[in-house]
Structure 1
Amino acid sequence: MTRRSAPAVLPPSLRVWLGLHAVLAALVVVALGFLYADDSQPGGADARIWRAVDGAGPAWRHVALAMDFLGEPAGAATLVLVTVTGCLLLRHPRAAVLVVAGTGMTVGTATLLKVLVGRTIHDGNLSYPSGHTAFATALTLVLALLATGRLGLGSSAGMLLVLAAALVAGAAMGWAQVALGAHYPTDVLGGWCTALAVIPATAWLVDRTADRLDDRMADAGRWERR
């Protein structure tokens, strides 16, 4: 059996369950995309949730703006840089790769979906799904996967940690987007599900690619010793 250079970013105990959640999340993204394609009005659920969060005071608006900044290019790049540095200090290069590849794939997917779905808000701004929510959820999912692996959690505890972390991050950024009027609530749900669909798949690809590289390096080392 080949010795791996670093632990997997997708813990084996979570692969099946996260895979199932990823498929369900992808189905939700597609269903909402069809439902709100080329739309420019809030749905019934959107209107009810908007009324519930309407009227946030100045202090809460400042909190929402601070959250929103973390999803903007400058804030997001800073978060990614800090997280990658932390992964490298922990000697977990696969996690560092997943931070960049996972968040990049998630935001890229959200951007592509916006063009394909064509839902708009405020003078034609593309809105579905929420890229800010997708990014925040994706980064948090990577951190939760890293924590699950380092703590050696089983499937139940690991799934609880991963889903709870994703829910908190998605809800926090989603609230900010809705409170600021930047997105419909269903845009937020679509962004959250986009991250849930993309991150497990990207983590699996990172592990598979790294394992193949490890095998090739091991084979090359054996040939040199002959």
Structure 2
Amino acid sequence: MTGRPAPAVLPPSLRVPLGPIAALAALVVVALGVLYAGHGEPGSADARIQSAVGGVRPPWRRVALALDFLGEPVGAAMLVVAVVAGCLLLRRPRAAVLTVAGAGATVATTTLLKPLAGRTINGPYLSYPSGHTAFLTAIALVVALLVTGRLGLGKAVGTSLVLASALVAGAAMGWAQVALGAHYPTDTLGGWCTALAVVPATAWLVDRTADRLAERSADAGRQESR
């Protein structure tokens, strides 16, 4: 094969800084899950935040509902399709794969963790960690990684962009979930950290798998040309 390999979805400049961040995020997810396992009431920090954020009225309630829609099946599918289309238009196939794999793995992780934590809200509804917050944070991470790689940003600027994007997306969806009474604040923190832990690991796997496939294809091409 003579074509150039597809650009890495996890920029080399971010591999070192994002590793410890992902590990720390995973520890936070586990710690909060253990701390609130089996609880059906807000913690003291949750109660203080809920008293300040909960029960929003129009027009802010409509904003919260619009954000919440992005985490629902139809809204999430629309967002994924839009990001995948953008990745393909920019000729970043690995980023397109990460959009689907990263968001899917993140949501699957929150789904698996919910019954393990057993934390409930509004009666029987499992709440920890927040899948909505995890999903939107995962999408923001993918976009930030794409921009970092596309612009060739260095470690400091790239890491700052990735974390800032994740923070904005996570805070926005977290606010919406708390304001609508769907999650405790610590549920949204757990969802945010889940995305921070899962997406970089998934990006590394996407790059590693794609590199191996490219090497095999190149080896097969060389053998055919002999």
Superposition map of 1:1-226 within 5 A: 4-226=4-226
Q: 1-side partners of 2:66 and 2:57: how far apart?
A: 14
Give the superposition deviation at 1:52.
1.1
Q: 1-side partners of 2:45 and 2:123: how far apart?
A: 21
Give the superposition deviation at 1:58.
1.6
In the superposition, the TM-score normalised over structure 1's length comes to 0.98
Q: 2-side partners of 1:213 and 1:3: how far apart?
A: 14
Q: State the one-letter code of the partner of 1:181.
A: G
Q: Which runs of 5+ in 1 are unaligned?
A: none
Q: State the one-letter code of the partner of 1:60.
A: W
Q: Which runs of 5+ in 2 are unaligned?
A: none
Q: Deviations over 1:139-181 (max 9, x none)?
A: 0000000000001000000000000000000000000000000
Contact 1:4 1:211 in 2 (8 A): no
Q: State the one-letter code of the partner of 2:194.
A: T
Q: 2-side partners of 1:56 and 1:101: how far apart?
A: 34
3-state SS in 1 of match to 2:70: helix
Q: Deviations over 1:44-95 (max 9, x none)?
A: 1000000111342221001000000000000000000111111111111100
Q: 2-side partners of 1:67 and 1:30: how far apart?
A: 26
Q: State the one-letter code of the partner of 2:177.
A: Q
Moved over 3 A (4+): none
Contact 1:54 1:179 in 2 (8 A): yes
Between the two proteins, the alignment pairs up a number of residues equal to 225
Q: 2-side partners of 1:3 and 1:176: how far apart?
A: 45
Q: 2-side partners of 1:64 and 1:155: how far apart?
A: 34
Contact 1:4 1:214 in 2 (8 A): no
Which stretch shifts more, 85-94 or 197-206? 85-94
Backbone CA RMSD of aligned residues: 1.0
Q: 2-side partners of 1:188 and 1:182: how far apart?
A: 10
Q: 1-side partners of 2:12 and 2:66: how far apart?
A: 36
3-state SS in 1 of match to 2:169: helix
Q: Deviations over 1:119-141 (max 9, x none)?
A: 00001100000000000000000
Give the superposition deviation at 1:212.
0.2
Q: 1-side partners of 2:3 and 2:89: how far apart?
A: 21
